[in-house]
Amino acid sequence: CPWIERDIGIEFDKWDCPILDEDTLQSTNPEIFFGGDSALGPENIIWASAHAHKAAISMHLFCQGKNVKEERPPEGVNLLSQKMGIHEWSYDAEHDPSVRHIVPHADKEVSLKNIKVEVELGFDEKLGFDEAQRCLNCDVQTVFTDRLCIECDACVDICPMDCISFTDNAEESSMRPVLMAPATNLEQDLYVSGHLETGRVMVKDEDVCLHCGLCAERCPTNAWDMQKSVIHIPQMGSYAE
């Protein structure tokens, strides 16, 4: 960042970028804030816009004499049900077994000879739609409410991956091998419910779950639900109001 003055009390890192607090984007000169590429290095326009909101909130707090780090509006994550009716969902619940598509590239003999040739050719309309649909579904989670469960095992019956089990509670090491499909990936935590009416617990292996939603569609008591992660990031306009 050679365009930034060096005599105004700002310290710089080894990459010649201003040293900032990543939460507030405040520099070592407390009256100066940064955003975009000059803040944390090259990023895309989405991050630049986020930096603008973050820095604006910091400046607003600073001008009010408040602590720019401790008195910020909180960020958060919430889960919202995707259920629209008895058998209707606001996302595509159909499981697609296809692997992720690779973006087609221009032939190397052509692209290496001409720097103006676009290397990534992009998806055609169909592949673009398929990949976008995958993104729209990836943050939909299965959520289990134990107090609603009647232990009918309908979800166990319909699960295409056998990732749901109802069993006696036990130590994880002894529980993993006896599930409907043994949970062998020790790096993936098990989803374990509270105790049910019979004293058993519901155990789901997230490592093999497809998030297809069949358990939620089949459940007669809505003990299973499909919920979407919603990230709340404070923006200056709504905060200042």
Here the tokens at position 171 are 């130590």
Rounded Cα–Cα distance for residues 67 and 62 (Å): 7
Could you give the residue range(s) of every CATH 3.50.50.60 domain in the chain? 1-72
pLDDT digits (tens, 9 = 90+) for 97-135: 677 788 889 999 898 999 888 888 888 888 888 877 776
Here the tokens at position 212 are 């297809």
The reported pLDDT for the residue numbered 96 is 65
* 197 pLDDT higher than 90: yes
Here the tokens at position 33 are 């804030």
- The model's pTM is 0.59
CB-based contacts of 236, cutoff 8 Å, min separation 6: 52, 53, 56, 57, 60
Rounded Cα–Cα distance for residues 185 and 189 (Å): 8
Rounded Cα–Cα distance for residues 43 and 17 (Å): 14
**Three-class secondary structure of residue 165 per DSSP:** strand
Q: In 4-118, where do the E strands start and end?
A: 76-81
- Cα-based distances in Å from 240 to 22, 48, 50, 137: 21, 20, 16, 33
17, 38 in Cβ contact below 8 A? yes
Could you say which architecture CATH assigns to the domain 140-232? 2-Layer Sandwich (3.30)
Could you give the residue range(s) of every CATH 3.30.70.20 domain in the chain? 140-232
Helical (H) or strand (E) element with 155: helix 154-158
Rounded Cα–Cα distance for residues 73 and 81 (Å): 25
Q: What is the DSSP secondary-structure string of 180-215?
A: SS----TTSPEEE----TTSEEEEEETTT-----HH
pLDDT digits (tens, 9 = 90+) for 20-76: 998 899 999 999 999 888 777 777 888 888 888 889 999 999 999 999 999 988 877
Rounded Cα–Cα distance for residues 215 and 156 (Å): 8
* Cβ neighbour number for residue 181 with a 10 Å cutoff: 14
> What average pLDDT does the segment 162-172 reach?
93
Domain 1-72 has CATH 3.30.70.141: no
